Structure 1
Amino acid sequence: MRKVIITGTPPVDWIAEADAITAQIQAAADDASRQTILDRHEGFWRDARIRNWLMSQFSNKCWYTEAEESISPIHVDHFRPKGRVKNLDGSYDDGYWWLTFNWKNYVIAGHLINSKKSDIFPLMHGERRAPVNCSEVQLRLEGAVLIDPLTDQARLISYDRDDDGCIAVLAGGIDDLERFKAEKTIEILGLNRIDRLNQKRGKKWDECLAVIEDYRGARAHGAQALVWIMKETSIARLKEKVKYDAEFSSVAEACIRKQAPEAVIAAVFER
């Protein structure tokens, strides 16, 4: 998984409208009144202004899988569910209704991933849900199990090739807490349950592997100048595959780090 980097802020007119709706639901006299307001503005988070802006942040890719819409239509999802929240034991808590129109709680997710996630949003054992209208700091300290793709925790999920494609796996060198979060995130999102997704990731893996083999085979061409050119070309091609805007760039990175010679890894990921 690759960390999504947010730059700038959404259109100011959308934010103004969203803030006005949020003020209404916070001032509602009771739950029924609040629900009426929420129902009246159902789908405002799908408005083209915010959807297009969010899509542009990660080159029109799902923030969980890096897949484009060739896998499934892409939706605006609430990272913390707005209506109700399902725990790992099957019980339910109240949702984060006050974040319904807060763009910082939005994630761009493929429909099939979003449907699998649904209302599931557990906390780590012993943690308590953040209170209504809490601060962003309190939300960050809440102890969510699900990995937020906007954080460095995205590094906890890597990829590997299997017989049928390429699947999400745990990153190496992580501790027990990180392992639990990564395992549950893969399970909650169903990152390995969509055959077409696994196959497309596998194709990306194989493309990278072929370039790595081109690099290794360059020395068979004799002339040193030609060998050098072929190696540099292979490195340039691999650099393209791990660019932020490339589909499945994290799959390409995993393949390179696991399969390429040290010299290639150093060259592709040079700082």
Structure 2
Amino acid sequence: MDEAQALTEQLKNAPDDKTRIALVFAHRKLWRDPRLLNWLTEIHHHKCWYSEAKESVSSYHVDHFRPKGRAAQIDKTERPGYWWLTFDWKNYRLAGQLLNVKKRDLFPVQLPGVAQAALPLTLQAEGSLLIDPLTNDAWFMSFERIDDEACLATACPGLTQPKTDRVALTIEILGLNRLPMLNRNRADVWDRCLERIKEYNDADTNPMIHTQEALRLVAARGLAQLCAEDQEFSSVAKACVDKQAPTELRMLVNDLLTHPELLKIAA
């Protein structure tokens, strides 16, 4: 942390871009440090922060959410990057290799050129169009089962058009729907949720009331486990519950997630 802060000050005090570039190059190992990668991996349960997939084949990358060297609009118009955030851990996101390569330097904003190193609030003023997975805007994203093989990222119903456009742009920049295996893996989670929802609904057919309650609780517990933050594609599971589960089941799942001790009792 101290080293990163010291390097950031050097960047801000550098006399020209050439000096800054040399400084970044000389210390590029800082954001590639295995300790940083392991820390980012642990705090998000070994999942890519953008796709929620657990990498098993390709590697994880430490992505600079706001690009450090140069930034590009959707039309590929380039502007200087956010060099002063190069060593700022708050600008790091854990990304699967394929998504990070797709993202590259794309970081479209509403007001290019507004952000300035000396004025932190200008980062908000520029109007990022790419959705940050660490902000509440991440809830603009939802998922939908579309056919026998795919579950795709999509915008939540009821959003304003500008928010819907941001979701579509984020999906395109990150390539969230372009990988067939990713789409199929999300579909598998969606289908597992549907199975639990069916089990909950089918409990009514049991003639014993106390057995009905037990079966419902088992089904709700299974759904809550799929929705837990440490599970792969937990946002897909939550989207399925929101769109497919009856109201009383949604409320029960929410209670189990909000009060983990109830989940243990249910076990």
Query: TM-score, normalised to structure 1's length?
Result: 0.90
- 2:235 maps to 1:250: yes
Segments of 5+ residues of structure 1 without an aligned counterpart are 1-14
- 2:131 maps to 1:144: no
For the residues of structure 2 that align with 1:42 and 1:210, how far apart are their CA atoms? 47
For the residues of structure 2 that align with 1:133 and 1:105, how far apart are their CA atoms? 16
Of the three residues 33, 37, 43, the one matched with 2:19 is 33
Conserved? CA contact 1:71–1:197, under 8 Å: no
How far did residue 128 of structure 1 move?
Answer: 4.3
Conserved? CA contact 1:211–1:237, under 8 Å: yes
How far did residue 19 of structure 1 move?
Answer: 1.3
For the residues of structure 1 that align with 2:172 and 2:198, how far apart are their CA atoms? 33
- 2:173 maps to 1:206: no
- How many residue pairs get aligned? The number is 255
For the residues of structure 2 that align with 1:195 and 1:245, how far apart are their CA atoms? 23
- 2:83 maps to 1:97: yes
How far did residue 60 of structure 1 move?
Answer: 1.4
- 2:32 maps to 1:51: no
Match of 2:100 in 1: 114
For the residues of structure 2 that align with 1:121 and 1:154, how far apart are their CA atoms? 16
Match of 1:153 in 2: 137
Letter of the aligned partner of 1:150 in structure 2? L
For the residues of structure 2 that align with 1:127 and 1:172, how far apart are their CA atoms? 29
Match of 1:4 in 2: none
For the residues of structure 1 that align with 2:57 and 2:163, how far apart are their CA atoms? 28
For the residues of structure 1 that align with 2:9 and 2:113, how far apart are their CA atoms? 25
**Identical positions, percent:** 42
Conserved? CA contact 1:170–1:182, under 8 Å: yes
For the residues of structure 1 that align with 2:213 and 2:57, how far apart are their CA atoms? 38
SS at match of 1:93: strand
Write the mapping of 1:42-81 to structure 2, written as runs, cut at 5 A. Answer: 42-70=28-56, 72-81=58-67
Greater RCO (Cα-Cα under 8 Å, separation 6 or more): 1
What does the per-residue CA deviation read over 1:95-153, in whole Å, with 9 as the maximum and x for residues that have no partner? 111110001111111111111110000112x5643113331x32123201000111100
Match of 2:221 in 1: 236
SS at match of 1:63: coil
Stretch moving more, 184-193 or 70-79: 70-79
Conserved? CA contact 2:152–2:183, under 8 Å: yes
Of the three residues 227, 243, 252, the one matched with 1:267 is 252
How far did residue 189 of structure 1 move?
Answer: 0.6
